[in-house]
Amino acid sequence: MPQVAFTTLGCKVNQFETEVMEGLFKQRGYEKVPFDQVADVYVINTCSVTHLGEKKSRQIIRRAIRLNPEAVVAVAGCYAQISPKEIEAIEGVKVIVGTQDRKRIVDLVEQAAHCMSPVNVVTNIMNAEHFEDIPLFEAPGRTRAFLKIQEGCTNFCTYCIIPYARGPLRSRSLASIIQEIEKLIAAGFKEIVLTGIHLGAYGHDVEDKITLADAVRSILSIKGLVRLRLGSLESIEISDELIALMKQDDRLCSHLHLPLQAGDAAILKAMNRHYTLDEYQQLITNIRNKVEDIAISTDIIVGFPGETLEMFNNALTFVEKMNFSRMHIFPYSRRSGTPAAEYSGQIPEEEKKRRVQIMQELAEKKADEFLQRFLNRQFTVLFEMENQKNANIIDGLTGNYIRVYTNGNQNMQGKSYQVLLEKPYRDGVWGKIVD
């Protein structure tokens, strides 16, 4: 039986796409092995969000070639889409497939095994018209599954390469979404997480203009669904209808990830973000008034070109009052091909690192404040046992994305319990099961 190994860089969408490719190889009789073992095929699903992501991608590609120089090394994902010739120049790469045509990955690998030159099938992603609907033949784990329902982005934020890597908006059909979720539920998954490159734009490309709220309503009608969680969304695309569904049905998790990116008005405008700070703040206030105990997390970029110390301090002040449950902090990464790469006022790397540290300290403070609000209260926890090496400790998530640890065992995996949240612990809280 031929052996194949996979590795993934980047976002949850990339992770899902790797799972899809794993299923395609398994259907053709391949055995999946760890990436650090000798295999017949290596599939590297790359990231291009930052230059660091591309550097790591190249390092992993060369590591696979060293592990087995005779293997078919296949490179997919955003970096492959953006810079296919750069990857083709790496001696030992046999297949280059970008952010489409993943359904052909096994055929391409088997074709490349008999070719002298690399098989490069990357085409202009801007010409893509349809969502690449590939069945999920296998999903790792037993509790939480990710399902990609949307592809592409047309926001063109000035710092971001993703629209050039992923192309225009394409939505998965509602029938396909329902079919895949029914399969996941039948396989024993309890929580489904909807993902997409621009998830809030789901349905915008469809003639009858269905919305994400329409999709969520249909999914909530599926028998056996325990939990539904939404991936990252643009704030301006949070409809009243979606919030009403979250308020009405506690299976729709009270957790939203709404990237802010900048807490200064001038920087937000320079980023080409399509909202103002006042609009963002009013939206968050409205959501919190309607959905009790909701967790709202965000992304922040520091060190954007032209960000003065006053602007950075404005961001700190704004973030302080927003009381996010969790913040992901990123230094601005200069991406060739994006408008911001040519902006004047580029911030030195050391200064960006300093600002990241300051913002990260604030993020940790606000995360701790968020957790403190829920101590000595009971919540339903769906246990996953994802992060534990200790067989006597199990962990899982509340609906509002608090990770809870407690004494337990593998028999609790995939089951829900009422838990009293007692004290901070690791990246979450320690709890006591009360039923």
| pLDDT computed for residue 140 by the predictor | 61
Q: Where do we find the tokens 């091909």?
A: 337
DSSP string, 10-72: S-HHHHHHHHHHHHHHHHTTPEE--TTS--SEEEEEE--SSHHHHHHHHHHHHHHHHH-TTSE
Quick: pLDDT tens for 151-186.
999 999 999 999 999 999 999 999 999 999 999 999
Q: Which CATH fold would you assign to the domain 144-372? A: pyruvate-formate lyase- activating enzyme (3.80.30)
**How much is the pLDDT for 208?**
80
pLDDT band, very low/low/confident/very high, at 387 (cuts 50, 70, 90):
low
Whole-model pTM: value is 0.92
Q: Is the pLDDT of residue 141 over 70?
A: no
Is pLDDT larger for residue 257 or for residue 138? 257
Q: What percent of the chain stands above pLDDT 70?
A: 98
Same-fold call for 3-123 versus 144-372: no
DSSP string, 254-272: SEEE---B-SSHHHHHHTT
Domain ranges in the chain are 3-123, 144-372, 378-433
Superfamily of domain 3-123: Methylthiotransferase, N-terminal domain (3.40.50.12160)
